[in-house]
Copies of this chain bind each other. A is one copy, B any other.
Amino acid sequence: MKIICSKSNLLQGINTVSRAVSTHSTLTILEYILIEVSPDEIKLTANDMELGIETTVVGDIEENGRIALKAKIFSEIVRKLPDNNVTIETDEYNKAYITCEKAKFDISGKSGEDFPDLPNVEKNSFFILSQFTLRNIINQTIFSISDNDNNKMMTGEYLTVNNNKVRIASLDGHRISIRYSELKDNFNEEKKIVIPGKTLSDVSKIINGTVYDEVNIYITDNHILFEFDRTKVISRLIEGDYFNIDQMITDDYETRIEFNKIELLNCLDRATLLVKESDSKPIILNIEGSNLELSITSDIGSMREDIEVKKEGKDIRIGFNPKFLIDALKAIDDDEVSINFVNNKAPCFIKNENKDYIYIILPVNISE
């Protein structure tokens, strides 16, 4: 095998597939990147058995072949090479010679015979999202998945497609985050799947996130395939039925406030200073007339701050974990945000007129 490609193209390819390199597997080959050179293309593949990524690299092909190189050292070497053409050549003993200007590296690889194939995803139908939209709806919901493996379902995100509308949701037992987006093109099928959180987080980092570039999304019974640019990301799905989130959503409210998001976020940010990781003191929102008083008291000290709000309905006094309010508000682009409350035992709803997001947060019990 012999190829010549620019350092930047090669590095981009390596960075893309690296997200599917396993870091703690008993199967050594999963820590490798497979380079396959055929007459038409230079293909890089990584596969940790949950997630597989392949991408092609533009370059000159001088000799076909394949080799698997340990991802860590391969990517470190390429990263530190001069910004020029890189030649990779292999010999019959699976040794790779990497040359760039006057620098010559040789490292041992593996034949790649035992490198696991990516699952074959049947490409019957697909829907399209812009990379911009896909990245947004992931980043605006992924923070409320659970990182506790005890409930596998909560570590994924629930994706549904219906009537040309895509919805993505996550929940961790204390809160639910939901984002909606319209599909531009017609897609008449109905889909309900749970995608591993890690897959979505990786995809959101690999895509370039522009409005102009698109991602084709194929869904089968067990897999999801994201196809974009020169890259394919294939992931297993989480099996089973997701929680019934529709029954948790309501439009009713007794109190509704509208406020400046940044003002509240800054105030919450200051309030969290008084909360140590270990003890989660609630922040108390006391809404009276057009005044929202935030207060928090912990072993360290206490803090109080007033914010002016537009209020509709009853006065209310309700407590929350400040982190949950912060996470939701940070995921919202709007400058003016509104929250609906029912009572101080029921979840609050942060949502907007367009109905492109709903954030539901359970309150914390506070002594009266």
Q: Which residue of B lies closest to A69 (CB)?
A: B301
Q: Cα distance A150–B331 when bound, in Å? A: 51
For A270, the chain B residues whose CB sits under 8 A away are 77, 80-81, 103, 105
For A27, the chain B residues whose CB sits under 8 A away are none
Q: Cα distance A77–B266 when bound, in Å? A: 12
Other A-B pairs beyond A102-B307, A103-B267, A108-B301, 11, CB < 8 Å: A73-B273, A80-B266, A81-B270, A103-B270, A104-B303, A104-B304, A104-B305, A105-B274, A105-B301, A105-B303, A106-B302
Within 8 A of B (CB), among A93-152: 102-108
Q: Cα distance A103–B302 when bound, in Å? A: 11
Q: Cα distance A80–B266 when bound, in Å? A: 8
Q: Which residue of B lies closest to A104 (CB)?
A: B304
A190, CB-defined interface residue at 8 Å? no
How many positions in chain A have a CB within 8 Å of any CB in the partner chain?
27
A300-B73, A301-B73 known; A273+B80 contact, CB < 8 A = yes
A82, CB-defined interface residue at 8 Å? yes
Q: Which of B80, B107, B269, B274 contacts A300 (CB 8 A)?
A: B107
Sorted from nearest, which 9 A-B pairs have the closest CB atoms?
A107-B301, A80-B270, A103-B305, A104-B304, A105-B303, A76-B273, A102-B306, A102-B305, A106-B301
Q: Cα distance A229–B74 when bound, in Å? A: 50
- Give A275 Cβ to nearest chain B Cβ, in Å: 11
- Give A104 Cβ to nearest chain B Cβ, in Å: 5
Q: Cα distance A215–B81 when bound, in Å? A: 42
Q: Is the CB of A80 within 8 A of B269?
A: yes
Q: Cα distance A302–B304 when bound, in Å? A: 62
The residue among A73, A102, A104, A305 with the most chain B CB atoms within 10 A of its own CB is A102
For A267, the chain B residues whose CB sits under 8 A away are 103
Q: Cα distance A204–B110 when bound, in Å? A: 49
15 contacts between A and B (CB under 8 A): A73-B274, A76-B273, A80-B269, A81-B270, A82-B266, A102-B305, A103-B304, A105-B274, A105-B301, A105-B302, A105-B303, A106-B302, A107-B300, A107-B301, A108-B301
